[in-house]
Amino acid sequence: MQSEKELAAVSVAAAPPGKGKGGRENILKKDLKKNWPLYLLVLPALLFFIVFCYFPMFGIIMGFQNFDMGKGFFGSPWADNFGFEHFIRFFHDKDFWMLFWNTLIYGALSLVFVFPAPVCLGLMIHSVKRPWYRRLILTCVYLPYFISVVVTCTIIQQLASDTGVFTELFRSLGLAGEDTGIVNDPRFFRWIIVVSDIWQTIGFNSIIYIAALGGIDESLYEAAELDGAGRWAKIWHISLPGILPTIMMLLIMKVGTMLNVGYEKLYLLKNRYNEDVAETISVYVYEKGALGAGAWSYTTAIGFFNSVLSFALLLGANWVSKKLTKSGIL
């Protein structure tokens, strides 16, 4: 009968390469030595995230302090209630639920309407056979992305003001009143934000889907045509399954940023008529932190609360994606 040492020697000899002690380290060293130019290209992006994303996370400590700019992080006193005073203050704010539900509604509308729009555009552009016509369409829908938010809000104000073209159209349909523009009407304000977001981002966001569609084997489409498949059948059975991993990855990331509603457009279009539907957590943080008395600790606590919820949504979306499609980002 073989001894324990002999059995151990046989098991080590029979183990696949790289699985023994130090195997992973050796593989990593060999890969670094072989592909060091690729790792060198990644280094600037890695440094960017470390300096501008991870290092500033140390500032979260302000949310648990009564931060004083003169005393700094280490000299500022801790907040009451074991450091959770600013969180409790926000939860007891009279506008908390309005801010929370408005933020959630804008995030849900963006997820349902803004996110699928580039997917549909990418599928339509990919189905165009003439290259020059495809480039023309892509250029036209790509240009609005370069328009600044301030200019976009000015265009919206002109088109949806009391005498704007869209306001007059809504009045002719009996949907808008005579005394105010639709941009001031809470019934239409959220949809104005959603439609303007689609118009401004659909071209830029569709590029990644067009690139993913370009990676699908053309022989699949040729075989489908031989079997009598039409355009919609090819899209449903070949194009969509081919870019499904890309869609799911971006969908998970989108869910994770649902609550991070940009404040610029909402703040610029907000007024006394639509403020009940224009106020979100991001707008509230901007007004209290940048425009207010510099409530650094209070706004940091709100931002941290928002980030925790976003992270929970990200984990939930990743779990659902793994259950349904066997793919995720974590």
Measured in whole angstroms, how far is the alpha carbon of residue 199 from the centre of its chain? 17
Statement: residue 68 has pLDDT above 90:
no
- Dump pLDDT digits (tens) for 308-318: 999 999 999 88
Statement: residue 19 has pLDDT above 50:
no
- Mean per-residue pLDDT for 30-57? 87
Torsion of CA 308, 310, 314, 315, to 10 degrees: 20
- Mean per-residue pLDDT for 321-327? 81
pLDDT band at 22 (very low <50, low <70, confident <90, very high): low
CB-hemisphere CA count at 13 Å for 46?
6
pTM of the model: 0.82
Give the per-residue pLDDT at 261.
83
The dihedrals phi and psi of 65, each to the nearest 5 degrees, come to -125, 165
Give the per-residue pLDDT at 175.
84
Statement: residue 23 has pLDDT above 80:
no
Torsion of CA 140, 142, 144, 149, to 10 degrees: 180
Place of tokens 């009968």: 1
Using CA atoms, how far apart are residues 236 and 125, in angstroms rounded to an integer?
A: 15
Beta bridge partners, 65, equal 78
Give the per-residue pLDDT at 14.
44
- Dump pLDDT digits (tens) for 151-176: 999 999 999 888 889 988 988 888 88
Statement: residue 11 has pLDDT above 80:
no
From its phi and psi, is residue 83 left (phi > 0), alpha (psi between -120 and 50) or beta?
A: left
DSSP designation for 15? S
Using CA atoms, how far apart are residues 25 and 240, in angstroms rounded to an integer?
A: 39
Closest CA to 96 of 279, 288, 269, 296: 279
The dihedrals phi and psi of 178, each to the nearest 5 degrees, come to -90, -15
Report the CATH architecture of 86-325. Answer: Orthogonal Bundle (1.10)
- Dump pLDDT digits (tens) for 69-94: 888 888 888 988 888 999 999 999 99
Taking the domains of the chain in order of start, what are their residue ranges?
86-325
The dihedrals phi and psi of 180, each to the nearest 5 degrees, come to -150, 160
- Dump pLDDT digits (tens) for 196-231: 999 999 999 999 999 899 888 888 888 888 888 888
